[in-house]
Amino acid sequence: MKFLLVSLFAALVAQEVSAAFISSEVSGMSDVGSGPAVKYDYDMEVPGSATKKCALVNIVMDESGSMTTEQTFLKDTAIPDIVSALYTPTYGYSDVFVCSNGFGGYEDTDVYDYRYVGCTKGNANGSLMDNSITNWNVRGHWEEGYYAMSKSMENLPQVIASVNLNTECSELHKNMILVSDEDRDAESWITTPNMMRQEIIDHGYILNIVVDSTINADHDNVGMQVNSANRNTIFRADGSGGFTSFDKNEPYTTFVAHEDLGVYTLDHYYPLIIGTGGAAWNVNSLREGVANNANLKLSFADAFVKTKVQEIIDNCSGNTCGGGGRSEIGGDPHITTWKNEHYEYHGQCDLVMMKDDEFADGLGLDMHIRTKVVRHWSYIQSVAIRIGNDVIEIEGSADREDQEAHYWYNFEHQGEAEDLAGFKLIFKKQVAYKRQYIVDLSPRYPGKQIVIQLFKEFIRVKFDGSEEAFGNTAGLMGDFKTGKTLARDGVTELNDYTAFGEEWQVLPADGNLFHVATHPQFPEKCLEPEDPRGERRRRLGESKISYEQAEAACFSALSDPLSIKDCVYDILSTQDLDMVGAF
Ligand SMILES: *[C@@H]1O[C@H](CO)[C@@H](O)[C@H](O)[C@H]1NC(C)=O
Ligand SMILES: *[C@@H]1O[C@H](CO)[C@@H](O)[C@H](O)[C@H]1NC(C)=O
């Protein structure tokens, strides 16, 4: 953190300007940071006609003073090598795009000194169709890497070099590289590391950071992957221009340290890559290599390029890279499949959200939801989770003042609930009507969890998990690897969501996880709301809360486009602006 005075001043200015910025977005006017006119739509479904296999490297470059070495490395070595590798038959990408963004270089471009530089396509020989996008600056001002990353994802154009990424790429594998020798100047920007990490995952990117972080006090350790808080793979220069790797299984905070201006690098940037498949690289290794150790520079480049290319191959599928494995099912059951596709099912019954008999070496996992129809829509009224022989059932409460926690542990109301077959249960209460129940899947699945979020009577379930934890599950969230909405036979794809919902109605063989049976139970069919689509449309027309009001409320509280969409939807269907608090 430098320029405290400047930062404080900028913070004051920023608040005013950012309010204007938000409202201008809502009303559809162009924003102050001059991004592309037509942006990539992260929510859009890929049309069947798309054929290109695309990769994107989105660079977020610190343009402050002293960044020359890193900028030159990216421009002359890393980008050409990554681009040309991805085009080789081994990897087989048909189109490789490179985007460029700067931060901390110009005072007047944007409230946080961010600027969108441009995007272009790479050539097979590694050169760029438009070289000007790597003409970064070295000036030095307000360095807010989080804001810059958010904007860089938002500012991905829909069309680059005449290719429409939304309609022509059957897959778009997205990679972001943040380069900075300092920590973030964050006084007035409230995003936390967890929020930022989630935003990156939600947008389907893998992040690599090139930052001031020396690993084990040795510049030969050029970079590392942080698989979980205490499981790391370190890439080490081998003395002759190549590299080897080894594991170090202790918390990275004990052996990674800043050397120069990146005082809070470990707090700000490292948490963003934990468990994502992304990696951290040490700017000090690169600087020593460039200044006086040619082999070290070669090793850095070799490790960086190979690791990055490998990540893209290993950890991307469809339009999603890295984290993947995040899915949720919300208050109003608009369900997000494992591949981030949304659908709605509005029947009332008990449904199998997920099941996996092999979970945790055969302990098994079942998760059922009970939905309730209210007029033309439905919401999740309760959820029950079984692991091994333990079951927890959770319910919300429509009464804002209700101080009680409504749960059943092994069918006993408010039973002593410490764990599910050894997986710790964590209860959190923000206010009476806003609670969280977390099933911590560590240590079997380090850092992974299932989060049940209660807001009044509405329940939202989120999974922060990997293929290791959820790869084998079946149910309403679809197939983990493909996102396909598969029937119980594991083969038939059901694209009619009513049929798909009915397919996953709880059957006697799925077991009884709720403490009481409610109507309907199999063989009675799920109750369907009357013509949900027609009614909904009509009802939206009569709504007191307008789409614009809902969007403004959600936009000011949330940054992730998918959550904003869900939030708007929940507000409109409940006619309750407070629903913004459920996210
Ligand atoms: C790389 O390929 C591009 C496009 O085919 C071409 O214009 C450029 O001259 C090539 N550069 C080199 C160094 O061969
Ligand atoms: C990335 O791919 C590697 C190799 O296949 C795998 O071990 C790792 O779990 C993956 N990470 C994520 C977050 O998908």
**Confidence band for 161, pLDDT divided at 50, 70 and 90:** very high
> Does pLDDT of 229 surpass 80?
no
Mean pLDDT to the nearest integer, 293-312: 91
Cβ atoms of 573 and 377 within 8 Å: the answer is yes
Average confidence (pLDDT) over 195-212: 88
Kindly state the average pLDDT of the residues 381-398: 94
Ligand nearest to the CA of 125: 1
Does the CB atom of residue 307 touch ligand 2 within 6 A? no
Alpha carbon of 29 to ligand 2 centroid (Å) = 40
Binding site membership of 314 for ligand 2 (Cβ less than 6 Å): yes
The DSSP annotation for 28-94 comes to T---SS---SSB--TTPPPPTT--EEEEEEEEEEE-BTT-HHHHHHIIIIIHHHHHHHHHSTTT--S
Radius of gyration of the chain, Cα coordinates, nearest whole angstrom: 25
- Measure the CA–CA gap between 7 and 498, rounded to whole angstroms: 53
Angstrom distance (rounded) from CA 391 to CA 379: 22
Nearest CA to ligand 2 atom 3: 314
Q: Provide the 10 A C-beta neighbour count for residue 46.
A: 17
Structure tokens at 146: 């989080």
The pair of structure tokens assigned to 392 is 């927890």
**Of 549 and 16, the one with more pLDDT:** 549
Residues with CB under 6 A from ligand 1: 123, 125, 127
Tell how far the Cα of 52 is from the centroid of ligand 1, in angstroms: 22
In this predicted structure, the answer to whether residue 481 has a pLDDT above a threshold of 90 is: no
Bigger pLDDT: 118 vs 544: 118
Yes or no: say if 573 and 332 are a contact pair by the CB < 8 Å rule. Answer: yes
State how far the alpha carbon of 406 is from the alpha carbons of 398, 432, 461, in Å: 11, 11, 16
The Cα–Cα gap between 57 and 80 comes to 11
Q: How far apart are CA 214 and CA 259, in angstroms?
A: 7
Q: Whose CA is nearest to atom 9 of ligand 2?
A: 277
Sequence-distant (6+) residues with CB within 8 A of 460 are 328, 329, 330, 331, 380, 452, 453, 454, 582, 583
Q: Which atom of ligand 1 is nearest to the CA of 125?
A: 1
Q: Is 277 in the pocket of ligand 2 (CB under 6 A)?
A: yes
Range with top average pLDDT, 117-121, 184-188, 277-281, 319-323: 117-121
Q: How confident is the model at residue 5 (pLDDT cuts 50, 70, 90)?
A: very low
Residue 173: φ, ψ to 5°: -90, 115
Give the residue-averaged pLDDT of 7-14. Answer: 28
Mean pLDDT of 305-323: 80
Q: What is the average pLDDT value for the chain, to the nearest integer?
A: 83
Class of residue 531 by CB neighbours under 10 A (exposed 0-12, middle 13-18, buried 19+) = exposed
* Cβ-proximal residues to 148 (8 Å cutoff; 6+ apart), any chain: 60, 101, 102, 103, 112, 114, 178
Domain boundaries, the chain: 30-41+49-314, 326-532, 543-583
Name the nearest CA neighbour of 375 among 402, 399, 346.
Answer: 346
Residue-level pLDDT at 511: 94
pLDDT surpasses 60 at 338: yes
Give pLDDT tens digits for 485-539: 999 999 999 988 889 999 999 999 999 999 999 999 999 999 987 654 444 444 4
Q: Other CB atoms closer than 10 Å to residue 403's CB: what's the count?
A: 10
Domain 30-41+49-314 falls in which CATH fold? Rossmann fold (3.40.50)
Give the atom of ligand 2 at the shortest distance from the alpha carbon of 276: 13
DSSP bridge partners of 455: 434, 458
Averaged pLDDT for residues 395-417: 88
pLDDT tens, 425-448? 988 776 677 788 989 998 898 878
- What mean pLDDT is predicted for residues 549-568? 75
